[in-house]
Structure 1
Amino acid sequence: MRAESYCDWWSLAGVDALVGEEPAGWLKLPVANDPKPKPKIVTENEPPPLPAALQRQAPVEAPTPKGPVTFPDEWNAFRTWLAEHPDVPGSQWDARRVLPAGAPGAPLMILTAWPEIDDQRDGLLFAGSAGTLLDAMLRAIGTTQDDCYRASLAVTRPPGGRCEPNAAEELARLLRHHLKLARPERLLLIGGDILRMAADIALPDARGRLLDVNHDGGKVAAVAVASPAMLLARPAQKAAAWDSLKLFNRGR
C-alpha cells in the first residue's frame, strides 16, 4: 500500500515513467498567456552596445555644390536682389541686411566691406559716432553723405568681422559687378578689408596714393582710408587718412 501510495503521488505530479522518450526541463517556467519580451541580459562575455555617437553611421551624400551666383544686370532688379535673395554673397551671417543708400552714378561712391555693429543695429551704414566723423571727413573734400552713393560689399556682418576664404571669392565677383552698375566717378574705400579685395594691397601702402580699381565695366579712381571707428580709437591715424582724402581735391 505504501508503494502504491508513492506511485499515485508521482502520477498526480505528472511523472508516470522513470525515463521518458523526450527530455523535459523541470526548472523551465511555463509559458504565460500574455508573454512580454524579456530584457536582454548582458553576460560577461558579451560587451555592452556602443553609444550612439560611436556607432557606425550610414554614409551621407555630400550636397551638390552650387555654381557661381548669377547677378542681375538691371539696377532696380539688382537692388531688389540684394534686399531679398537668399543667394546674395555676404547675406548668410545675419538676418538683418544693411542695404546701399543713394543713387547710382553719384560723383563719389563710399564702399566698405561689411556693416559695423552699430550699422546693423540701426539698419543704416555709417551710423553713430563713426558716421559723425565720416561727415566731417567728407566736408573737408566738399561733399556730404547725402551726395554720395554708400554701400557695403556684404550686406551683413561676419562673426568677429572676419570673412572665410570661400566667401571672399564670391564677394570679389560681387564687388566688380556692383561697381559696374553703380558707375561712380570716384571711389572711397573704407577699411583695410575692402581695400585688399578691391586692390590687393594693405592699408598702410595706400596712404597718399590714387588707386585704379578695375571692375567689369572698366576702372575707377579710388583712395582708401581707415574706418571711422578705427580713427576714433586711434586718432593718430587721421593724418594718414587726410593724406589720401586730399587727393580728391586736386583739380577742383
Structure 2
Amino acid sequence: MRGIMQDNAALTADAYLAWWQLAGVESAVAEAPHNWLRPVPAAVSASHAPQPAEIAPQAKPQDLEAFHCWLESESSHPERRWPTPPIYPSGAVDSPLMVVTDMPDAADVAAGSLLADREGVLFDAMLRAIGIDRAQAYIASLFFARPPGGMVEAADLAIAAARMRTQVHLARPRRLLLLGDRTIRALMPTDSGAVSGHSLRDFNHDGGTVPVVATFHPRLLLSQPAAKAECWRTLQSLIEEDRP
C-alpha cells in the first residue's frame, strides 16, 4: 500500500514539473518574481506605434505663423490624447515680453484663454506693475491643453520643453517670463534658484539666448499672498532692464 502511494506521489510530482516546463519555467528560483499567468501583451508594429511630436530638422517651421499652423495641425502632439479643448498661444513676433505658463487651468478651459478668471485679474495686475499690457505680451503654455487631473508624463514634458524652445526662437521676444515651478523645471532644469532669484538670466533656445526671469504662478499667489512680495522683487528686474 505504501509503495503504491509513493509511486502515485512520484507521478504527480513529475506531472507537476512537466506542466511548469511547458509554461517556460527553467529554474525553481530566480532573482525577481515573475507572474507566469499574466497575459502576453499584443505586439505593436513599429509602423503603428505613436511617435513623439518632435520637429524634424528639415521640417522645422521657419516663422511663427508656420509654427502655429504646425501646432494646430500636427496629430502626434501629446495633447491629442486628452479630451479638453486646446488653447493656443497668442501674441505677435518681437513682443516686449513673452510669458510661459505650464498648462491651462480649469477656468482657462471654460474661458477659452490662458490666465483667465481670478488668476487672470492678478496676472494683469502683475503686468501693469511693470508697465506692460496683456495685449502687448506673447502668452503661451508648455501644454496647449489640460490633461486629466493636470498630471503629465516625463516624456511628454520633455517634448513640450523642446517645442517651447523652438517657439521662443520664432517669437523673438525681448524678454521671457516663466510662471510656476513646473514651467521652470522643464525649461531651466539646472537653475534651481530660478524662482528665488531677482536678476535676469539667459535662456537658451533654438536660435540663441533671451533674458529670462521666473516667478510664482498666480494660482500660488492667490493661495499664498505672502509670496507676492517675493514675486514683486523678481518682476522689478524686468523694469530695470529698460533703464539706461
Percent of residue pairs identical = 37
Equivalence for 1:118: 107
For residue 159 of structure 2, the aligned residue among 170, 182, 206 is 170
For residues 61-140 of structure 1, the aligned pairs below 5 Å read 61-64=43-46, 65=49, 66=51, 69-70=54-55, 71-140=60-129
Alpha-carbon distance in 1 for matches of 2:224, 2:37: 54
Is 2:188 the counterpart of 1:188?
A: no
2:211 aligns to what SS in structure 1? Answer: strand
- When residues 182 and 57 of structure 1 are mapped into structure 2, their CA distance, relative to the original with a 3 A threshold, is same
| Contact map agreement 2:196 2:230 (CA 8 A) in 1 | no
CA shift for structure 1 position 117: 1.2
- When residues 91 and 186 of structure 1 are mapped into structure 2, their CA distance, relative to the original with a 3 A threshold, is farther
1:131 aligns to what SS in structure 2? Answer: helix
Q: Which has the larger radius of gyration?
A: 1
CA shift for structure 1 position 153: 1.6
1:118 aligns to what SS in structure 2? Answer: helix
Is 2:218 the counterpart of 1:228?
A: yes
1:154 aligns to what SS in structure 2? Answer: coil
2:81 aligns to what SS in structure 1? Answer: coil
| Contact map agreement 1:81 1:88 (CA 8 A) in 2 | no
Alpha-carbon distance in 1 for matches of 2:38, 2:180: 48
Equivalence for 1:149: 138
| Contact map agreement 2:194 2:214 (CA 8 A) in 1 | no
Total equivalences in the alignment: 199
2:146 aligns to what SS in structure 1? Answer: coil
CA shift for structure 1 position 121: 1.4
Structure 2 length-normalised TM: 0.74
1:110 aligns to what SS in structure 2? Answer: strand
1:245 aligns to what SS in structure 2? Answer: helix
CA shift for structure 1 position 170: 1.1
Alpha-carbon distance in 1 for matches of 2:80, 2:182: 17
- Residue 54 of structure 2 aligns with an amino acid whose one-letter code is V
CA shift for structure 1 position 212: 1.1
What do residues 141-179 of structure 1 show as CA deviations (whole Å, max 9, x unaligned)? 001111100111210112332321111221121021111
* Residue ranges of structure 1 left out of the alignment (5+ in a row): 1-53
Alpha-carbon distance in 2 for matches of 1:104, 1:176: 15
- Residue 156 of structure 1 aligns with an amino acid whose one-letter code is A
- When residues 91 and 203 of structure 1 are mapped into structure 2, their CA distance, relative to the original with a 3 A threshold, is farther
Equivalence for 1:60: 42
For residue 242 of structure 1, the aligned residue among 222, 227, 232 is 232
- Residue 81 of structure 2 aligns with an amino acid whose one-letter code is Q
| Contact map agreement 1:203 1:225 (CA 8 A) in 2 | no
- When residues 239 and 58 of structure 1 are mapped into structure 2, their CA distance, relative to the original with a 3 A threshold, is closer
| Contact map agreement 1:90 1:171 (CA 8 A) in 2 | no
| Contact map agreement 1:187 1:222 (CA 8 A) in 2 | yes
Q: CA RMSD in A?
A: 2.2
- Residue 211 of structure 1 aligns with an amino acid whose one-letter code is R
Deviates more, 1:76-85 or 1:118-127: 76-85
2:93 aligns to what SS in structure 1? Answer: coil
